[in-house]
Structure 1
Amino acid sequence: MLNSTLYYTMLTRDYSKTLANTAADPTVQRQTAYFQANIDKVKSVDDLLNNSKLYNYVMTAFGLSDMTYAKGLIRKVLTEGVSSSKSLTNTLNDPRYKALATAFNFAANGAATTSSTSLQQTTISNFDEQTLETNVGKTSPGAQMALYFQRMAPTIASAYNILGDKTLLSVVQTAFGLSPSMSQQGIDQQAQTIGKLVNIADLQKPAYLQTIIERFTANYDVNNRSTTSTTPTNALQVSSPGISQSLLLSIASLPQGGS
């Protein structure tokens, strides 16, 4: 596997170009073209759920591809919306569902929901990011986790949001050397521990966020030195959006310090 610190750095050096390369992939282009051509035809929650291509695209875009089977749950999330504190979305304490229900707010906007240019652009942008992260994960799980943390950071309002997301929690645990066994503690005690280590409000600041990510990737690479110190030939055959094969070979030849 590739050193996650170096891979993440290369991906984010010109992140907009990396995303553009992902969007230009023929498979992604076909999926996005179908979404653009058909999303206006969706006038209700059931219209969305009954079109498997659109449904899968949207679920992927909002990080819920692992929940595509749970149509009953998604129907309730989209039907109830976000305005009531008692809605399912607001009781799940998972920013993915809230982002989905906020964007596809059928409860408030009805049949006009999907005609929103902002909704369409947001969904496409999200889909590109999710696809990028998935592809990166095939070569460097650590870099994938770092990209995920970077993307989700603006949605983190409390330590409980971190505790409710296994990837966010793993990043924080790795960055600060916390044992996974901390999950055996009470939830409030865990939140207190994380709150002392991570300034939640400062995650909105790029410099502070970058510091957390750098701590994570450095520790991740140390913890996984046996897999990050060498690069198998087949790893270089994986499609890596935004990075050419020759550049991957250059990255792989760099020492762990990366200079």
Structure 2
Amino acid sequence: MISTYTSYRLATRDLDRTLAMKAAEKPVALETKYYLENISKVKSVDDFLGDTRLFRYAMNAFGLQDMAHAKGYMRKILSESLADEKSLVNRVNDDRFKSFAETFNFVDKGEEAIQADAARQGVVDRFVRQTLEVDLGTENEAVRLALYFQRSVGDIKSGYSILADNALMEVVYTALGFPDEMKGADIDKQAASIEKRLDLDKLKDPKELEKFLVRFSSMWDLKQGTPASPILSLFSNQSMPSIGLDLAMTLQQFKRGG
């Protein structure tokens, strides 16, 4: 069985080409064509929400597909100013909603909101990348997680940023060898533990990020009982402490329920 890291590298070694191939797939191309042809017709929040196909495309692009049916909630997100600290979007602990509201900022920009490249090609690029991640995730969930982490790492500001995003938390907890039981601990203690074990600034360096994703992929495969990449040993004394035999055995026991 192919390892997670090998699958991840196959997808990312020429990411631009991989994304271009995904964009050219008929279902993706058809939805993109519809979006680009109709987004210019949108003049208001009502117009946007009124075109379900268009709205769903945009929601998928931001990883919010599970909320595409919640139009009342999204209407409130889009109808309040980002400048208002009390607005719903500023109270929701999820950056995806804020990014969505910034892109479709009808309150502060009116019709000009959908004239910007961010609301056109920017959304298309997001949609294609999101579709690629979802499709790869059907074959290996960890590959989707790794791609998502790679894409999101620039927005991580602290341990709390990681804890606020279940996908990011899964990657970090797996890579650092934290047991699932730790997720029930005090939030402040969890954040402190993450920041103690993980140099977040170093992850902005592509080489350090790659080392981290090697570790995540190998640890994931270890937990799943899949043969891990031998590359893991090359980085055991770098930016993160080595996992150690005891921890590896403990993780295997968690998997077996022992």
TM-score by length of 1: 0.85
Amino acid corresponding to residue 151 of structure 1 in structure 2: R
Identity value in percent: 39
Partner of 2:68: 68
Query: Is residue 2:19 matched to residue 1:19?
Result: yes
Partner of 1:148: 148
Amino acid corresponding to residue 201 of structure 1 in structure 2: D
- Taking the TM superposition and a 5 Å limit, the aligned residue runs for 1:1-259 are 2-225=2-225, 228=226, 256-257=229-230
Amino acid corresponding to residue 111 of structure 1 in structure 2: E
Moved more, 112-121 or 197-206: 197-206
Query: Partners in 2 of 1:2 and 1:144 — Cα distance?
Result: 15
Structure 1, unpaired ranges of 5+: 230-254
Cα drift, residue 64 of structure 1: 0.4
Query: Partners in 2 of 1:91 and 1:204 — Cα distance?
Result: 27
Q: In structure 2, do the counterparts of structure 1 residues 208 and 84 end up closer, same or farther at CA, with 3 Å as the change threshold? A: farther
Structure 2, unpaired ranges of 5+: 232-258
Deviations 1:131-165, CA, capped at 9 Å, x for gaps: 00111011111111100111111121221121111
Aligned residue-pair number: 231
Amino acid corresponding to residue 219 of structure 1 in structure 2: M
Asked whether the 8 Å contact 1:78–1:101 carries over to 2, the reply is: yes
| C-alpha RMSD of matched pairs (Å) | 1.6
Moved more, 168-177 or 103-112: 103-112
Cα drift, residue 219 of structure 1: 0.5
Amino acid corresponding to residue 98 of structure 1 in structure 2: K
Q: In structure 2, do the counterparts of structure 1 residues 81 and 180 end up closer, same or farther at CA, with 3 Å as the change threshold? A: farther
Moved more, 151-160 or 134-143: 151-160
Cα drift, residue 203 of structure 1: 2.9
Cα drift, residue 214 of structure 1: 1.2
Amino acid corresponding to residue 101 of structure 1 in structure 2: A
Query: Partners in 1 of 2:44 and 2:8 — Cα distance?
Result: 39
Asked whether the 8 Å contact 1:93–1:161 carries over to 2, the reply is: no
Moved more, 206-215 or 57-66: 206-215
Question: What is the DSSP-based 3-state SS (H/G/I as helix, E as strand, rest coil) of the residue aligned with 1:200?
Answer: coil
Deviations 1:28-87, CA, capped at 9 Å, x for gaps: 000000000000111111211111101110000001011112222211111114222222
Question: What is the DSSP-based 3-state SS (H/G/I as helix, E as strand, rest coil) of the residue aligned with 1:69?
Answer: coil
Amino acid corresponding to residue 47 of structure 2 in structure 1: D
Query: Partners in 2 of 1:211 and 1:81 — Cα distance?
Result: 40
Moved more, 199-208 or 23-32: 199-208
Query: Partners in 2 of 1:127 and 1:200 — Cα distance?
Result: 27
TM-score by length of 2: 0.85
Query: Partners in 2 of 1:94 and 1:43 — Cα distance?
Result: 26
Query: Partners in 1 of 2:63 and 2:111 — Cα distance?
Result: 24
Amino acid corresponding to residue 36 of structure 2 in structure 1: Q
